[in-house]
Structure 1
Amino acid sequence: MSDKTPDLHAAYALDSPEDHKRLYAEWAGDYDEGFATREDYQLHIHTARAFVGAGGQGPVLDVGAGTGLCGAVLARLGVGPIDATDISAEMLDQAMRKDIYRDAIEADLNEGIPVPRESYSGIVSSGSFTHGHLGPEALTALLRVARPGAQFALSINAQHYEKVGFAEALHRLAQGQIRNLTLPEVRIYGDLASGPNKDDTALIALFERA
């Protein structure tokens, strides 16, 4: 294990699945208090509320669930059942301790999700479509496991959205695979944040599978 505590800068610089597994194995035990609370992280709250506000319902797949921050908000809002998927077994272990998930699925989204087609009525993701993490190519795997009419709420770091081609990918999908796309912009962190990324924003891609 590294002597350096994992941080957002290290997470944004990740390059391979092995890098992800290594960093999040180190970060899992301290993520909620050492990052989310300290930095007044709010994106999971915005994402869950947007999903519910758009009429989202279970069964839901929480993509890049991490320690279960977004799932916990969904559960408080009465959404369920919820399954968690993440590349990190250690993060999923923390998530399952919250006793809000029906199942945990360890998977690299770029290689697909080992569940049957059309398994979910809702897909949420908070914090995974960002620098060093997932790009628009992962949307195909999510559409495969979504039922027709399934509600999506995917947070996408605003800088990442512009940089890696989400606009083009979503425009292409809107030609027949998705419908009712909206992109509200939200702050990733609250007023108590003090780090260099405290003013960062994200777009929440809200749409339904056609």
Structure 2
Amino acid sequence: MSKKPEQLAAVYAASTPQEAREHYAEWAGDYDEGFAAREDYQLPTLTARAFVASGGQGPVLDVGAGTGLCGAVLSGLGVGPIDAVDISAEMLDQAMRKDVYRDSILADLNEGIPAPRESYAGIVSSGTFTHGHVGPDALSALLRVARHGAQFTLSVNSVHFTEMGFDEVFRKLAEDQIENLVLSEVPIYGDLALGEHKDDTAIIVQFEKS
């Protein structure tokens, strides 16, 4: 029997970046089969398709890329080049094996992204803005590496969105840093999901950098 629902709970409960790293290091090897496949994890696909539907183009930074589920969908839809950034070296190792990324960047989003300013025409993130992970303060690091007019498509766990005040942060950003803000609620998991969080939803946030 898979231990991965418990692993998800542990990740959600993480209170420090180091705790997150430790949990993801343990989870990386069978994340795709032991969690994503068994829990019918749809969010990476929905996020990638939303990015493409909005006209998003490369070069793209996949933020919190994990094992590369979102990047693989992006690549399959003809988007590229794609770079991956994640806090977990083990997750990035799995992502790079999919052969869809140009480069990988090991970084804690709370401390910034070691990439030049205005490097990317697109920023995509699926499953990173959630419990035990980063809050809205990390958005400044994403905006720094995005070009003017860059398309953003970010998923935010719906409960996390409310608890961490994302709505107010996006409203403030819309005053002078972003435009064409659109929010859409989507299911995180498909009909086959059985875990405790099977009915969870996320807000897909789309906008352009002014």
By the TM > 0.5 criterion, same fold?
yes
* Divergent runs of 4+, >3 A: none
Matching residue of 1:159 = 159
Q: How does 1:188-199 map to 2 (within 5 A)?
A: 188-199=188-199
| SS of alignment partner, residue 61 of structure 2 | strand
- CA distance in structure 2 between the partners assigned to 1:186 and 1:90 by the alignment: 28
Q: Residues 3-82 of structure 1: matches in 2 within 5 Å?
A: 7-82=7-82
Q: Determine what percentage of the aligned residue pairs are the same residue.
A: 71
Unaligned ranges ≥5, structure 2: none
Q: Check whether the contact 2:7–2:23 (CA below 8 A) recurs between aligned residues.
A: no
> 1:134 Cα deviation (Å)?
1.1
When the two structures are superposed, what TM-score results if normalisation uses the length of structure 2?
Answer: 0.97
Partner SS state of residue 62, structure 1: strand
**What is the 5 A alignment of 1:68-107?**
68-107=68-107
**Deviations, residues 68-119 of structure 1 (Å, cap 9, x unaligned):** 0000000000000000000000000000000000000000000000000000
- The CA RMSD over aligned residues, in Å, is 0.8
Provide the rounded CA distance (Å) in 2 between the counterparts of 1:90 and 1:129.
19
Q: Is the 8 A contact 1:7 1:35 kept in 2?
A: no
2:185 and 2:204 in contact (8 A); partners too: yes
| Secondary structure of residue in 2 paired with 1:180 | strand
Maintained 8 Å contact 1:15/1:132: yes
Q: 2:67 and 2:25 mapped to 1: Cα distance? A: 11
Query: Contact (CA 8 Å) 2:12, 2:130: kept in 1 or not?
Result: yes
Secondary structure, aligned partner of 2:104: strand
The offset of 1:171, in angstroms, is: 0.4
Q: Deviations over 1:25-72 (max 9, x none)?
A: 100001000000000000000000000000000000000000000000
Give 1:186's aligned residue. 186
User: Aligned residue for 2:130?
Assistant: 130
The AA in structure 1 aligned to 2:123 is I
Deviation string, structure 1 residues 134-182 (Cα, Å, up to 9, x no partner): 1100000000000000000000000110001101100000001000000
Contact 2:58-2:122 at 8 Å conserved across structures: yes
Does the CA contact (< 8 Å) of 1:47 and 1:204 recur in 2? yes
Distance 1:163 1:18 in 2: 22
Aligned length: 207
| Equivalent residue number for residue 111 of structure 1 | 111
Q: Post-superposition shift, 1:195?
A: 1.1
Q: Specify the SS of the correspondent of 1:195.
A: coil
Partners of 1:117 and 1:204 in 2: CA distance: 24
Q: 1:146 maps to which residue?
A: 146
Q: Distance in 2 between matches of 1:12 and 1:93?
A: 22
Secondary structure, aligned partner of 1:124: strand
Q: Is the 8 A contact 1:47 1:124 kept in 2?
A: yes
**Residue 17 (structure 1) shift:** 1.1
